[in-house]
């Protein structure tokens, strides 16, 4: 289960911090954000977390505060 990448990412965006975070909608699961690099030499599950929105929506990161994420949902609702 942990040895094969099976997720489908789409609607990708990033924030303005460094190391920057990549925000993606993930098919059939919640949207996630993940650091683009780490000091450990690899990126693992501990480097990602769920973020706003749902599978079908869009993500927008507040340019003044990268901890605020606006996420779309089914039927155009915000979450």
DSSP string, 4-63: S----EEEEEE-SSSS-EEEEEETTS--EEEES--TTSS--GGGEEE-SS-TTS-EEE-S
Asked if the structure places residue 4 within a domain, the reply is no
15: how many CB neighbours lie within 10 A of its CB? 19
pLDDT, residue 73, reads 76
Tell me the residue range of the domain where 47 lies.
9-76
How many distinct structural domains can be found in the chain? 1
Asked if the structure places residue 57 within a domain, the reply is yes
Asked if the structure places residue 24 within a domain, the reply is yes
Asked if the structure places residue 3 within a domain, the reply is no
Asked if the structure places residue 62 within a domain, the reply is yes
Asked if the structure places residue 1 within a domain, the reply is no
Confidence of residue 1 (pLDDT cuts 50, 70, 90): low
Residues 47-57 have pLDDT tens digits of 888 888 777 67
Measured distance CA(77)–CA(46) in Å, rounded? 29
């Amino acid at each position: 289960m942990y040895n094969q990448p099976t997720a489908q990412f789409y609607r990708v965006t990033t924030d303005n911090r460094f190391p920057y975070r990549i925000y993606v909608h993930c098919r059939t699961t919640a949207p996630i954000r993940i650091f683009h690099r780490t000091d450990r030499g690899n990126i693992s599950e501990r480097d990602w977390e769920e973020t706003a929105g749902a599978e079908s929506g869009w993500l927008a990161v507040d340019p003044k505060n990268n901890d605020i994420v606006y996420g779309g949902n089914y039927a155009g609702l915000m979450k």
